[in-house]
Amino acid sequence: MPTVTFLNKQGRVAVDCQQGETLLQAGLRQGVPLPYGCGAGVCSTCVARARPGTVESAWAEAPGAQILKRDKGECLLCQSLVTDDCEILVPGKIDLEQTLADTPAHCRARLHDVAVVAPDVATFQLSLQGQADYIAGQYFLVRLEGMQGYRPYSMTDFQREAQTLNFVIKRIPNGRFSDEIFGNSVSEAKVDIFGPMGLATFDPSDPKESRDLVCLAGGSGIAGIMSVLDRAVSVNHFESHRLFMVFGVRRREDFFFLDELRRIKESAPDNVSIHLAVSEEGSEATDAVGDLPLHQGFVHEVAERLGDGMFENRLAFLGGPPAMLTGSLALLLGAGLPVTDIRYDRFG
Amino acid sequence: MSDATDTAWQQICSATDIIDGELKRFETGQFAVVVARVGAEFRVIPPFCPHMAEPLHESGICRGGTLTCSKHLWQWNLLTGEEQGPAERPLVFYESEIRDGDVWAKVDQELVYEFDEEDDDDFEW
């Protein structure tokens, strides 16, 4: 088994790397506080340097790899595989003397109960060989057995010692995992997963997070936010705190999770404000879907129209496509929220 | 004010091309710059984030005089270039001024960020 040595000016730490395991997974699994965002080749947060020729890329065309200076040995830790011992230079700010308190792990699981819940959205479950604890808002990397590359999926609920994890997936043209799910070729499958991961989390037991919330979600980006809200409802968070939420999709028929959102609203009707938005002009918008008010426009536009005074001192959770995230981030920064109070995963 | 005959200076855009809080990319001929507006002030900067070279006209958000790169949330004071929060490198500016309602900048030499860290020099391959 190869030994990987992560090093910088502050120190060095050596870990084992299992066959087929990425350098990021090997490091995190053994407590090395490596930087990461998506863990799946998109966000470029895990750039490091390797001696040229000592690492292989699992996905050379990964979006996050486009900025790499390969002549300098730059690589994405989340896409790097090794077969021999190697040294990896990581950013100098990382304290390699520190060890992560909670470490993600590999696990085998069974994928089942695929259900199409909107034209381009499905839910599925994973039954674990074992159980997992995670913080609301976290995600797992999931890989169909025999398929190259992991994809990140946020859990849509909150459980302790979970034996079954619940997810949502969006149909992506030519996405292999997505094709398998929506093509009905997979009703049940073996998968490898790694996690939990992610920092866009909510822990209401922390006094610093005893706050009003704002949640802005687009499409399947609502997944992690549903986990945050499930956690909040489980401790009656909204009996003493407010929620302002906008959930947007392209067309009215694209909505899903509406029953779950109604239950969150009903848990504390005076403090919970949930709005729906459709972005496609000419979409058959009416005043409401059920008892949830419906608006025309992109999520951040609707939030801006409705949210005057709703953002101050709140903890914000965002989820959705890049343009929605950028628009929402601009709105919240403009309203004076510090970046430390705005949480989202950079999957796209 | 600079010497108006100094050929190192180029007209980049009209001040009215950019609204308050906006970032726009322009080509100078040899390389690109981004022009940012904060109230009546303009700054001309390299088009890439000092962190990981993200294109700032796409990933940058300018609010209240603070520039935020939405990719990894590095932030700067857009008037001084000073780092805020997690940012580890300052912004650099092209010398610039307003002449008759246009933004001019001294763009005789491209400004680039040194992305390598100090450690890199000591890492012998």
ipTM of the complex, rounded to two decimals: 0.81
Token representation of residue A209: 């997070």
**CATH superfamily of the domain spanning A105-197:** Translation factors (2.40.30.10)
Which 3 state secondary structure label does DSSP give A77?
helix
Domain limits, chain A: 3-89, 105-197, 207-343
pLDDT of residue A176: 73
Per DSSP, what are the bridge partners of residue A292? A289
Q: Which whole-number Å values give the CA distances from B111 to A313, B33, B108, in the listed order?
A: 38, 9, 10
Mean pLDDT for each 10-residue chunk of chain A (348 residues)? 93 95 97 95 92 90 88 93 94 91 95 93 95 96 86 95 95 78 76 95 95 97 98 97 97 95 96 96 70 94 91 95 92 92 88
State the first-to-last Cα distance of chain B, in angstroms, to the nearest integer.
49
Reading the block at residue A161, the tokens are 């010692």
Residues of A in contact with B115 (CB under 8 A): 69
Q: How far apart are CA B65 and CA B57, in angstroms?
A: 16
Answer yes or no: do B52 and A44 touch at CB < 8 A.
Answer: yes
Domain ranges of chain B: 9-103
Please give the pLDDT value at position B118.
54
pTM, full prediction:
0.91
Residues of B with a Cβ under 8 Å from any A Cβ are 21, 52-54, 59, 61, 63-64, 66, 68, 70-73, 75, 85-86, 88, 115-120, 122-123, 125
- Give the model's pLDDT for residue B51: 87
CA dihedral A275, A279, A280, A282 (to 10 degrees): 50
Is A336 close to B64, i.e. CB distance below 8 A? Answer: yes
**Closest-approach residue (CA) in chain A for B60:** A326
User: CATH number of B9-103: 1.20.120.330, 2.70.98.20, 2.30.30.40, 2.102.10.10?
Assistant: 2.102.10.10
Nearest to B118 among A92, A330, A339 (CB): A92
Q: What is the pLDDT of residue A283?
A: 61
* Nearest CB to B123 within list A89, A91, A325: A89
Tokens, residue A295: 């608006």
Contacts of A200 (CB under 8 A, 6+ apart): A137, A138, A224, A317, A318, A319, A343, A344, A345
pLDDT at B115: 65
The pLDDT assigned to A189 comes to 87
Closest CA relative to residue A347, chosen from A158, A190, A137: A137
B85 or B36, greater pLDDT? B36
- Contact residues of A toward B, CB < 8 A: 7-9, 37, 43-45, 47, 49, 51-52, 67, 69, 72-73, 89, 91-93, 325-326, 329-330, 333-334, 336, 338-340, 342, 346
Residue with the bigger pLDDT between B52 and A156: it is A156
Question: Chain A partners of B116 at a C-beta cutoff of 8 Å?
Answer: 72
- Lookup: tokens for A343: 């949480």
**Residues facing A118 on adjacent strands:** A121
Q: Which residue of A has its CA nearest to B58?
A: A326
Q: What angle do CA A232, A236, A241 make, to 5 degrees?
A: 75
Contact B52 A336 (CB under 8 A): no
Set of chain A residues whose Cβ sits within 8 Å of the Cβ of B54: 67
For the cut 60, the answer to whether the pLDDT of residue B110 exceeds it is yes
CB contact under 8 A, A333 and B119: no
Residue among A7, A67, A333 whose CB faces B68 most closely: A333
φ and ψ of B90, to 5 deg = -75, 160
* Mean pLDDT value of segment B12-35: 94
Under CATH, which architecture does the A3-89 domain have? Roll (3.10)
**CATH topology identical between A105-197 and A207-343:** no
CATH code of the domain made up of A207-343: 3.40.50.80
Question: Is residue B3's pLDDT more than 70?
Answer: no
**Average pLDDT, rounded, for chain B:** 88
Q: Which residues pair with B117 in a beta bridge?
A: none
SS3 for B26? strand
Instruction: Reduce the secondary structure of A293-329 to three states and give it as a string.
Output: EEEECCHHHHHHHHCCCCCCCCEEEEECCHHHHHHHH
Taking CB atoms and an 8 Å limit, are A339 and B53 in contact across chains?
A: no
CA distance A208 to chain B (A): 19
Do residue A44 and residue B85 have CB atoms under 8 angstroms apart? Answer: no
Measured in angstroms, the CA of B70 and the nearest CA of chain A are apart by: 6
Please tell me the distance from the alpha carbon of residue A47 to that of residue A34, in angstroms, as a whole number.
Answer: 10
Contact A276, A295 (CB under 8 A): yes
How many residues does the structure list for chain B?
125
Q: What tokens were used for A281?
A: 């002009």
CB contact under 8 A, A9 and B85: no
Tell me, what's the pLDDT at B72? 86
Distance from C-alpha of A338 to C-alpha of A320, rounded to nearest angstrom: 20
Out of B52, B119, B125, the one facing A52 most closely (by C-beta) is B125
Q: At what angle do helices A223-234 and A258-267 cross, to 10 degrees?
A: 30
Predicted local distance difference test score (pLDDT) of residue A129: 93
